Structure 1
Amino acid sequence: MEDLNAFLEPGMIVRHPNQPDWGLGQVQSNIAGKITVNFQESGKVVLDSSRVALMPVMNE
């Protein structure tokens, strides 16, 4: 399976395309297809990179 978030690094700001109510999230780690993101409204979430492509946020 393809890692849809391989380019994301700790510290980057992202949005979940299917969960806009989670708000902005900061990438905490991206290891072996598992990405941990701390979202403003949902807290820390671990996602499977083969199932969702997070959207990087620039200058927001």
Structure 2
Amino acid sequence: MDELNALLEPGMLVRHPDQPDWGLGQVQSNIGGRITVNFREAGKVVMDGSRVALVPVFDTET
């Protein structure tokens, strides 16, 4: 999981695979494996990147 999350940069859009109701999120920071994401429906969430593999979103039309 760490490998994919290491590529996440501020401004990138992501989804949480286990929390689809949180909606689309924007990465705020990714420091030392701690990823802060601002989700539309859940607000700011800080996650341990070794425990969850966020899914990058490249097409916001779907």
Band of TM-score, shorter chain: over 0.9
Cα RMSD of the aligned pairs, angstroms, is: 1.0
**How do residues 1-60 of structure 1 correspond to structure 2 at under 5 angstroms?**
3-4=2-3, 5-60=5-60
- Structure 2, gaps ≥5 residues long: none
What is the TM-score when the length of structure 1 is the normalising length?
0.94
- Structure 1, gaps ≥5 residues long: none
Deviant stretches of 4+, over 3 Å = none
* Structure holding more helix per residue: 2
Residue 59 of structure 1: CA displacement? 1.9
Q: Percent of counterpart pairs with the same letter?
A: 75
TM-superposition CA deviations, 1:7-52 (whole Å, max 9, x none): 0000000000000000000000000010000000000000000000
Aligned residues: 59
What is the TM-score when the length of structure 2 is the normalising length?
0.91
Amino acid at match of 1:32: G
